[in-house]
Amino acid sequence: MSEGTLPRVAGSVLADAVEALSPRLRKRLDDAVAKAAAWEVRDDEGTVTVTVDEDTRVVLTVHDGAVRASEDAVCSCLLAPACLHRAAVLGLAPVWDEDDAAPQAADMPSPQQSLDRQTGRQTEQPADQPHEQPPAVASSGEPVASGKPAGSAEPPAPDEQASLSPDQAAAAEALRRAAEELIDVGLIGAGLAAEATLRRAVHTARAAGLHLPAAIGNRVAAQLRAYRTRSQDHSLAAYADELRTVMETVRILSTSTDPTVLDALRGTARRQHEHQGGLRLVGVFSEPVIAGSGMAGVVTCVVDADGTPWSVPAVTPGGPAQVVNAYHGGVGLGGAALSHEELVREGLIVSGASASADGSLSHGAGVRAVRASGASWWEGPVNARFAVPIPDQLERILTGDAARIGDDLLFAEATILPADARAVAAGAKPGDVPIVLGNRTAVLRSASEHKGLAYADNLNILRRAAGLRLRVIARLAPGRPGVLLPLAVSPDPEQHRSLRLLQLPESWHDRICLGVDRMHASMVTASATEPPGPPAPLTPGPADPTSAIPLHLLRTAVERGASGGRRAARLASCHEDARHLASAGLPHAAAVLRHLSMSAAAPDRDAYGRAVPQTSTTFAEAWLGAALFERAAAARLAAAAWGGDRDQNAPVPFGVPRPVGPS
């Protein structure tokens, strides 16, 4: 038996089963789950029977594809329902999220998350590293606030509450305690019981109307499950970032009295859509989504005649295979008869369009759409995105204020360098594609290492096309100046007419969606692999002014705490790391690191042997402070490294401490 042979189970059902266990049985739960993998499973049209032995069976009753109530999971043993058999089977089954009941565009992950949301966002998002946004910025596919653009200056509506209701306050507190437990024991020490506690808190938060915290909590739980099952969707960086985000969100919810802030952080179960009328759209690119919550598919970016970006999502419950199905499947928008693969190269004329604040188009019944011609990246409305100066784009991206799809993306022209020039680009790794970007060198790096996606294979082929000029749509790699995570590329048509370095299928219309279109080696011509004459001398790009600043030491401590908990943080020596941070001009980072270490070392009992209350809470708060400081400082240093540093008095997102940069 494996996770794939069992029906999906609601998180609340799993939580009920674990809570019913005695403390003694709960200690044996993870071992029981491992044994359950060998039990026989039989599926009989809505009833799944798991045979433990000749006398014991666990029967799961499936309604609409999932086990939705505790009564639908029954064991025949004498200890039932407080038995290990039932809890182990439910713990091995994939989790069904209540939001999956009627997936709509409002609930679909978007490329702006992370990882992934990876991602793994991601989530494994389309990249294995998370693309974080402050909780108030409603640009992801998770529940958002009231459909208003982020940063809206409109006064709060009269019915907005200036504080949480008692149920919401209790739900936020339960979510905080569950997150604190995870920080205290660490990812390594968090078994199925800890996951079940978090699932219960998520269910309670959703029932109380705290949809955004519940969505973030679900992503944390997905990372817990991915770690335990050794899934390639797991990312320690993504887990640490999601854990920080849920702690930050519930902290602000519990302390803020600003109705606008509270309304934003509560989120909504369904995104609000506003009427947009008629739109003439042309396709730009399509990005694969593989979310840790069990959702997968693609999100296609289109632009209108003014260059405003919109998204057409096709993300539904399923595994990595769903990405290919969605890409080649119909767009499902207004009855338009074309696939996402075709929409990328063509266009749509839409009437009765409606969309959310971040540009996600609704698939509502009143929408009508017909196929239309597309446009090249090198002309028309798409060209306008590439005409924006790179420093201006960096300013927009590094503020983290991605209100619409595409606001977190860099649209740039680049030239691929010979493979032996990789050393020119600082921080290059095997598999990277060295490029010239403006007045500096950089590298293109795979946006995801997921085996089901084509990113890495396509970059390996493009690396052979030295001298190729192309336009790139990419994300900045978090904390890695000079590294781009490309989503799609388009070769220069003028160069193509003269040199023909790249031969693409005519149906691709000179653009490659790197995650879903698969290139093959024959597409790179001999003139590209054997450029005539010696290469022109390269001028190294501007030096990274932040390369000597060891902020990674603080990040390492944050991830170590998330992974090993208080015990790992207690055993680690931070004095040398703190000294390095202080000598590099980051005294506040050094102080934060020392405080984290001191909090971890605090004794659990006093001199008289009495338990010291709030020890785990103190460490969790110290960890959150370190994680928030590291995020804000990393964003500031990234801006400086890319040459787009903001004014030191510029505002930072609420809930984020203002970092003190290097002196």
pLDDT for the residue numbered 99: 60
pLDDT for the residue numbered 133: 36
Residues paired with 460 in a beta bridge = none
pLDDT for the residue numbered 230: 86
Give the span between the Cα atoms of 174 and 620, in whole angstroms. Answer: 14
Average pLDDT per 10 consecutive residues for the chain, totaling 663 residues: 77 94 94 93 90 93 91 94 94 80 37 33 36 34 36 42 87 96 94 95 94 93 91 88 95 91 85 83 94 83 92 88 94 90 94 86 86 92 91 81 81 88 58 86 90 93 92 88 92 83 91 96 72 45 61 93 92 86 92 93 78 81 95 83 52 34 32
Give the span between the Cα atoms of 292 and 219, in whole angstroms. Answer: 7
Q: Is 301 helix (H, G, I), strand (E, B) or coil?
A: strand
Tokens of 634: 């990393």
Is residue 153 within 8 Å of 145, Cβ to Cβ?
A: no
Domains of the chain and any CATH numbers: 3-96 (no CATH), 163-266 (no CATH), 274-372 (2.40.50), 384-529 (2.40.50.140), 552-641 (no CATH)
pLDDT for the residue numbered 353: 87
Give the span between the Cα atoms of 549 and 521, in whole angstroms. Answer: 40
Phi, psi of 513 (to 5 degrees): -85, 105
Closest CA to 536 of 466, 483, 464: 466
Q: Which run of H or E residues covers position 10? A: strand 8-10
Strands (E), 356-478: 368-372, 410-416, 433-437, 440-444, 469-476
Closest CA to 517 of 371, 298, 290, 317: 298
pTM for the model: 0.77
Query: Residue 518, Cβ neighbours under 10 Å: how many?
Result: 13
Phi, psi of 611 (to 5 degrees): -65, 135
- Kindly provide the b/e burial profile for residues 122-161, where b requires at least 16 CB atoms within 10 angstroms of the residue's own CB: bbbbbbbbbbbbbbbbbbbbbbbbbbbebeeeeeeeeeee
Is residue 82 within 8 Å of 22, Cβ to Cβ?
A: yes
DSSP H helices in 157-210: 166-189, 192-207
Q: Degrees (nearest 5) of the Cα angle 371, 359, 470?
A: 70
Is residue 41 within 8 Å of 1, Cβ to Cβ?
A: yes
Side-chain-side CA neighbours of 33 within 13 Å: the count stands at 20
